[in-house]
């Protein structure tokens, strides 16, 4: 399969938002995905992460939530969804897809991982905990992720509803 570093974001996001079951303006919606994407690309530039994988993680990891609270299977469901879109909306190698799916499946388990791409995904999600009033903790982040805590926390608190628009502006 051809490996490309790019994909049609409008088509992918349209598909994801179209099937999203919960509040589009809620804590796990596109405004969160946009901040996770920015954190993933920022941290990933330092960690050497696969930037295509971490961007796809941002868009997909919470896409299968069925509520805003207890939904322990939303990661595994989203990993299956990501697999179904490979070769349709983006093109990943088997190794890339494996990392993406592992990161998505286990993103809310609270662990750390030695692979820089997987850990960058988890850093990016955890760096947006300020939106629910939790300050990110360095012990759950890579060294590169920990450097972003203050800026990320202020960003989460300052504009929780506006990054959605910024996301679409990126397209
Ligand atoms: Fe999640
Ligand atoms: Fe998330």
Q: How far apart are CA 160 and CA 134, in angstroms?
A: 13
Q: How far apart are CA 129 and CA 152, in angstroms?
A: 9
**18-64 tens-digit pLDDT:** 999 999 888 999 889 989 999 999 999 999 999 999 999 999 999 99
CATH of domain 9-170: 1.10.3210.10
Please report which ligand is nearest the Cα atom of 65.
1
Query: What mean pLDDT, rounded, does the chain reach?
Result: 91
Please report which ligand is nearest the Cα atom of 29.
2
Residues with CB under 5 A from ligand 1 (ion): 62, 108
Distance between the two ends of the chain, CA-based, in angstroms? 25
**97-108 tens-digit pLDDT:** 999 999 999 999
Cα(111) to centroid of ligand 2, in Å? Answer: 14
Beta partners for 90? 86
Cα(107) to centroid of ligand 1, in Å? Answer: 6
Report the pLDDT value the prediction gives residue 171, as an integer from 0 to 100.
39
Residues with CB under 5 A from ligand 2 (ion): 62, 125
Rounded to 5 degrees, φ, ψ at 90 are -155, 165
Please report which ligand is nearest the Cα atom of 74.
1
The pTM (predicted TM-score) of the whole model is 0.93
User: What angle in degrees, to the nearest 10, is found between the helix axes of 30-47 and 149-158?
Assistant: 170
């Amino acid at each position: 399969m051809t490996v490309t570093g790019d994909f049609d974001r409008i088509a992918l996001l349209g598909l994801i938002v179209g099937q999203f079951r919960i509040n589009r303006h809620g804590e796990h919606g596109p405004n969160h995905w946009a901040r996770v994407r920015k954190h993933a690309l920022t941290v990933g530039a330092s960690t050497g992460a696969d930037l295509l994988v971490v961007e796809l993680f941002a868009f997909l990891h919470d896409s299968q939530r069925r509520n805003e609270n207890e939904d322990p299977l939303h990661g595994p469901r989203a990993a299956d969804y990501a697999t179904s879109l490979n070769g349709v909306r983006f093109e990943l190698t088997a190794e890339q897809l494996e990392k993406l799916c592992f990161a998505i499946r286990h993103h809310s388990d609270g662990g750390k991982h030695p692979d820089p791409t997987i850990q960058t995904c988890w850093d990016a999600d955890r760096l947006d905990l300020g939106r629910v009033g939790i300050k990110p903790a360095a012990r759950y982040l890579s060294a590169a992720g920990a450097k972003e805590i203050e800026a990320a926390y202020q960003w989460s608190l300052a504009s929780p509803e506006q990054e959605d628009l910024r996301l679409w502006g990126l397209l």
